[in-house]
Homo-oligomer: A and B are copies of this chain.
């Protein structure tokens, strides 16, 4: 993932981040605001360590602070956490339409998917199981374009 320093800067989305945090009764600290910008501008969901490594380039921050921020933001529904089939926990901003994920089983690259077939079956699943459905996790697994190319070269 390539991310420009300026993308994460405190001043980006400053008011918006401030409001989001305040409405969740969370202090609008510099570190949380920069963390939000980091996820805002990422083209894939990130895990705690990736976020830590990106933020470290700009500010002093501790890995456990990242973990604590991520879990506070997730509890407040500001972020969505997803655990992937390889055990990797990744986070994305919870805008109306957070997206599903596809992972490459060769290089582990993660990309977003813009399709969600779930809404169509919520009612049937509810009837089938008796559960009230409140959410879902969907991960596709496959081979990314790069890896397909490499395979075809051989």
Which residues of A are in contact with B by a Cβ distance under 8 Å? 81-85, 87, 89, 102, 104-105, 111, 113-115, 117-118, 120-121, 124-126, 128-145, 148
Contact = CB atoms under 8 A, between A and B. Distances in A.
Contact of A138 (B113, B134, B136, B143): B136
Number of copies: 2
B131 A136 contact: no
Contact of A85 (B83, B115, B124): B83
Contacts of A118: 117, 138
Across the A-B interface, the 5 shortest Cβ-Cβ residue pairs = A131-B142, A135-B141, A130-B145, A133-B142, A117-B117
A22 B102 CA distance: 34
Contact of A142 (B83, B120, B135): B135
A138 B137 contact: yes
Given A83-B87, A136-B138, A125 B148 contact: no
Given A117-B118, A125-B115, A129-B102, A142 B138 contact: no
B148 A128 contact: no
